[in-house]
Amino acid sequence: MTQRQRWTEASLPRLRGKTAVVTGANTGLGFQTARLLATHGAAVVLACRNPAKAATAAGQLRRLAPGAQVQTLELDLAALDSVRAAAQWLRAGYPRLDLLINNAGGVNPRFRRSADGFETTLATNHLGPFAFTGLVLDRLLAAPAARIVTVSSVGHRRGAIHLDDLNFDRGYRYQHAYFQSKLANLMFTFELQRRLAAAGAAAIAVAAHPGNARTDFGRDLPAVARAVLSPRLRALTFWLLQPPEIAALAIARAAADPAVRGGDYYGPGGFQEWTGYPDRAQPSARARDQDVQLQLWQRSEQLTGVSYDLAPARAA
| Residues labelled catalytic | 178
d(CA 303, CA 106): 19
d(CA 186, CA 254): 13
First to last CA, the chain: 43
DSSP for 276-307 reads SSEEE----TGGG-HHHHHHHHHHHHHHH---
Question: Count of CB atoms within 10 A of residue 237's CB?
Answer: 17
Identify the CA nearest to 133 among candidates 260, 279, 23, 248: 23
**Rounded (10°) CA dihedral 167, 172, 174, 177:** -30
d(CA 180, CA 31): 25
d(CA 71, CA 51): 11
Question: Count of CB atoms within 10 A of residue 88's CB?
Answer: 12
Question: Count of CB atoms within 10 A of residue 52's CB?
Answer: 10
Identify the CA nearest to 101 among candidates 315, 303, 251: 251
